[in-house]
């Protein structure tokens, strides 16, 4: 795809050049939208430009697709899909030099989002729209508390949940491996500002809805339930697999009755927290409904390595504060006991501290 400058209002900026950010940037560019990656340094911008200002997507999901895999020969490599014509900027460049951002997709890790958002906040205004694509919950509320205590010059916010499996290709900075075909869902958050949603909100939502990623656009109340169920799945699966160092599927192995008991207890604890925090959703978020959902996610992602396992294995900080940590804070706020989530939070934080100690022994 050839490069195109695009107007300032049509351009979509993507903050977070990890696996998810690259996947969405590539698909949006392939759909014809002008794209700018916001990178963490000028040296990263220089590397991106030296390799051709392009993103490559390796569609590994076709290997397990019921029909697409039949087109592959045994042992055949997947040819990367290369998308060019993408611009890049250093996120630290002076805001006055870069201009207003009309449409922003934030795909950073949850623990990095508040600081990263602060770098571009002054480039956003009441006519801007921001998409948040993080694991866990509480990021939107943290941004609101930190930057938008007054209803002035507040952008519109779209929140999304992504169930596509993707990994950064080892050794390739701007290559993402699309490992599992899932789905994603988006909804507009109720407005923080008094005025209605800007034109950019409808334009960006339309752009997302047209992507070939099994996209659904729903109202906020429906997405809220989906986010709470996904939070439960992440809170059970991610820390358990990160601590055990195993793929998700081992949690549902036929000889893992002890693990089944753990899942039942963990889901019951989360249901008790939700019952106090969201009593109007007691049917959708019962212990049985949560355990059914978590079990289904384990089965569907059996071959996947959870994002928390990947972070722990690489010695990176995890998103546990926004997953189990969010549940522990919610439990404390509503007077509910949460020993399982408290223990999982503490153990993952201990793993993070142990890695930091190995890096800095003195």
The residues that bridge with 37 in the sheet, in sequence order, are 14, 88
Question: How much is the pLDDT for 208?
Answer: 98
- pLDDT for 2 equals 43
pLDDT at 192: 62
DSSP H or E stretch at residue 132: strand 129-132
Structure tokens at 45: 């911008």
Show the tokens assigned to 191: 């407005």
Give the tens place of pLDDT for each residue, 71-103: 555 666 788 899 999 999 999 887 666 789 999
Report yes or no: 16 and 116 within 8 Å, Cβ to Cβ: yes
Calpha distance 238→247 (Å, rounded): 10
106 neighbors 15 (Cβ within 8 angstroms): yes
Q: Give the tens place of pLDDT for each residue, 311-342.
A: 999 899 999 999 999 999 999 999 999 999 99
Residue 248 gets which letter from DSSP? G
Query: Given the structure tokens 């990095």, which residue do they identify?
Result: 112
pLDDT for 169 beyond 90: no
Contact status, residue 137 vs residue 227, Cβ threshold 8 Å: yes
At 61, the pLDDT band (50, 70, 90 cuts) reads confident
Selection from 170, 177, 167, 173 nearest residue 52 by Cα: 173
pLDDT tens-digit readout, 199-247: 999 999 999 999 999 999 999 999 999 999 999 999 999 999 999 999 9
Residue 95: both structure tokens together: 């805001």
Query: Beta strand 184-188 with 215-217: parallel, antiparallel or unpaired?
Result: parallel
Provide the pLDDT for residue 326.
97
Listing DSSP states for 5-51 in one string gives ---TTT-EEEE--SHHHHHHHHHHHHTT--EEEEESSHHHHHHHHHT
Q: How far is CA 63 from CA 9, 73, 78, 163, 201, in A?
A: 38, 10, 9, 18, 36
Place 52 in a pLDDT band, splitting at 50, 70 and 90.
Answer: very high
Q: What's residue 1's pLDDT?
A: 44
DSSP assignment of 67-84, as one string? TGGGGSPTTPPPPPEEE-
Residue 61 near residue 180 (C-beta atoms within 8 A): yes
Average pLDDT, the chain: 90
| Overall pTM > 0.85 | yes
Query: Measuring CA to CA, which residue among 52, 69, 73 is closest to residue 60?
Result: 69
At residue 180, the pLDDT reads 83
Closest CA to 93 of 129, 125, 119, 114: 119
Question: For residue 245, how far is the Cα from the chain centroid?
Answer: 21
pLDDT digits (tens, 9 = 90+) for 1-25: 444 556 678 999 999 999 999 999 9
The angle that helices 220-244 and 287-300 make with each other, rounded to 10 degrees, is 60
pLDDT at 62: 85
361 has a pLDDT exceeding 60: no
Rounded to the nearest 5°, which phi and psi values hold at 225?
Answer: -65, -45
Q: What is the DSSP letter of 256?
A: -
């Amino acid at each position: 795809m050839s490069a195109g400058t695009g107007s300032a209002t049509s351009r979509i900026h993507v903050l977070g050049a990890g696996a998810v950010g690259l996947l969405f940037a590539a698909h949006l560019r392939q759909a014809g939208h002008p794209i700018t990656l916001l990178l963490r340094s000028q040296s990263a911008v220089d590397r991106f430009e030296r390799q051709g200002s392009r993103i490559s997507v390796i569609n590994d999901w076709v290997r397990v697709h019921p029909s697409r895999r039949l087109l592959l020969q045994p042992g055949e490599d997947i040819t990367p899909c290369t998308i060019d014509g993408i611009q890049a900027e250093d996120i630290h460049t002076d805001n006055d030099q870069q201009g207003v951002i009309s449409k922003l997709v934030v795909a950073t890790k949850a623990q990095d989002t508040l600081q990263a958002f602060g770098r571009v906040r002054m480039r956003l205004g009441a006519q801007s729209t921001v998409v948040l694509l993080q694991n866990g919950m509480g990021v939107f509320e943290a941004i609101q508390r930190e930057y938008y205590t007054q209803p002035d010059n507040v952008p519109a916010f779209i929140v999304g949940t992504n169930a596509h499996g993707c990994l950064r290709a080892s050794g390739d900075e701007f290559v993402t491996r699309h490992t599992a075909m899932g789905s994603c869902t988006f909804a507009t958050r109720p407005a923080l500002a008094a005025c209605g949603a800007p034109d950019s909100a409808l334009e960006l939502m339309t752009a997302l809805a047209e992507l070939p990623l099994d996209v659904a656009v729903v109202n906020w109340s429906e997405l809220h339930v989906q986010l709470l169920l996904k939070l439960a799945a992440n809170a059970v699966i991610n820390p358990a697999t990160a601590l055990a160092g195993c793929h998700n599927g081992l949690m549902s192995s036929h000889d893992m009755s002890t693990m089944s008991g753990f899942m039942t207890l963990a889901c019951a604890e989360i249901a008790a927290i939700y019952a106090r925090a969201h009593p109007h959703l007691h049917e959708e978020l019962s212990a049985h409904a949560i355990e059914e959902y978590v079990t289904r996610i384990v089965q569907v992602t059996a071959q996947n390595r959870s994002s928390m396992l990947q972070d722990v294995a690489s010695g990176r900080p995890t998103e546990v504060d926004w997953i189990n940590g969010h549940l522990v804070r919610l439990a404390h706020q509503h007077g509910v006991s949460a020993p399982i989530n408290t223990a999982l939070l503490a153990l993952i934080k201990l793993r993070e501290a142990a890695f930091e100690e190995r890096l800095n022994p003195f």
